[in-house]
């Protein structure tokens, strides 16, 4: 299985990892806008909130492995404050805050692919999700192609999964929002996050 790189990917992304613990992460495909590669969605005070990592100027045929993060904007502070505002009253934010905060303080990592991967490995370690991966060495077609299907605007992709409900911070205002960033499950479910991921059903 080949998965796209994802910034704090949705819970469905981690479901696919749990079902396919030996997989590839796409590195050779051309980067496209408005995907999970540099965007995640959390549950803010006004509902679903998108957080986007700004990128250095890139051309249409730039490979994912060559896409660089821009630090011209203070996006790290903005993202972390948004995460803190959304989840500081959640049951487990304080348990994991110090493990995740360093990703929003250091500017050492310029590769979007590596930043996503290191953050993903940290979260996998926290929730005890074990897997091995390798970056693709060339572009190959797959069926199903999760690199294309896994898109924030693809409602059919979300419908591929049955997401059990869990308590969310702002659920009383906007109801249960499914398939948000893994952070939403982590801060609300803590050590039960992996159990939740395993409980998600994939419609065949």
pLDDT of residue 146: 64
Say if residue 149's pLDDT is above 70.
no
Higher pLDDT, 178 or 145: 178
Q: What is the mean pLDDT of residues 113-136?
A: 96
pLDDT band at 147 (very low <50, low <70, confident <90, very high): low
Tell me the per-residue pLDDT of 20-45, one tens digit each, with 9 for 90 and over: 899 889 899 888 888 999 999 999 99
Domain ranges, ordered by start, for the chain: 2-202
Task: Give mean pLDDT, residues 6-22.
Answer: 95
Q: Is the pLDDT of residue 18 over 80?
A: yes
Question: What's 115-148 look like in SS3?
Answer: HHHHHHHHHHHHHCCCCEEEECCCCCCCCCCHHH
pLDDT at 33: 86
The predicted structure's pLDDT at residue 103:
98
| pLDDT recorded at residue 148 | 64
Give the chain's length: 204
Could you tell me the pLDDT band of residue 160, with boundaries at 50, 70 and 90?
Answer: confident
DSSP characters for the chain? -EE---SS-BHHHHHHHHH-SEEEE--SSBP-SSSTTSEEEEEETTEEEEEE--B----TT-BGGG-BB--SS-HHHHHHHHHHHHHTTSTTHHHHHHHHGGGGT-----BHHHHHHHHHHHHHHHHT---EEEE-SS----SS-HHHH--TT-HHHHTTEE------TTHHHH----S-BHHHHHHHHGGGHHHHHHHPEEP-
- Is the distance from CB of 31 to CB of 65 less than 8 angstroms? no
Long-range contact set of residues 74-79: C-beta below 8 Å, sequence gap at least 24: 76/103, 76/104, 76/105, 76/107, 77/104, 78/51, 79/51, 79/53, 79/104
Q: What is the mean pLDDT of the segment spanning 131-160?
A: 77
Provide mean pLDDT across the span 182-194.
Answer: 99
Question: What's the pTM?
Answer: 0.94
Query: 143 versus 154: which is more confidently predicted?
Result: 154
Q: Give the model confidence (pLDDT) of 45-95 as tens digits.
A: 999 999 999 999 988 889 999 999 999 999 999 999 999 999 999 999 999
Q: Report pLDDT for 152.
A: 78
Q: How confident is the model at residue 110 (pLDDT cuts 50, 70, 90)?
A: very high
**What does the pLDDT read at residue 1?**
86
Asked if residue 135 has pLDDT above 80, the reply is yes
């Amino acid at each position: 299985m080949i998965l796209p790189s994802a910034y704090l990917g949705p819970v469905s992304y981690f479901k696919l990892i749990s079902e396919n613990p030996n997989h590839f992460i796409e590195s050779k495909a051309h980067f496209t806008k408005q995907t999970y590669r540099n965007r995640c969605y959390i549950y803010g005070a006004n509902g679903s909130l998108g957080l986007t990592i700004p990128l250095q100027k890139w051309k249409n045929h730039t490979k994912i492995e060559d896409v660089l993060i821009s630090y011209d904007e203070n996006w790290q502070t903005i993202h972390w404050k948004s995460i803190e505002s959304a989840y500081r009253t959640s049951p487990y934010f304080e348990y994991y805050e110090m493990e995740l905060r360093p990703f929003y303080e250091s500017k050492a990592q310029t590769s979007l692919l590596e930043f996503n991967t290191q953050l993903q490995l940290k979260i996998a370690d926290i929730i005890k999700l074990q897997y091995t991966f390798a970056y693709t060495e060339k572009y190959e077609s797959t069926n199903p192609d999760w690199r294309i299907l896994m898109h924030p605007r693809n409602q059919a992709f979300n419908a591929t999964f049955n997401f059990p409900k869990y308590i969310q911070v702002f659920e009383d205002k906007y109801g249960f929002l499914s398939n948000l960033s893994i952070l939403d499950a982590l801060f609300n479910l803590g050590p039960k996050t992996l159990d939740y991921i395993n409980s998600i059903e994939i419609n065949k």
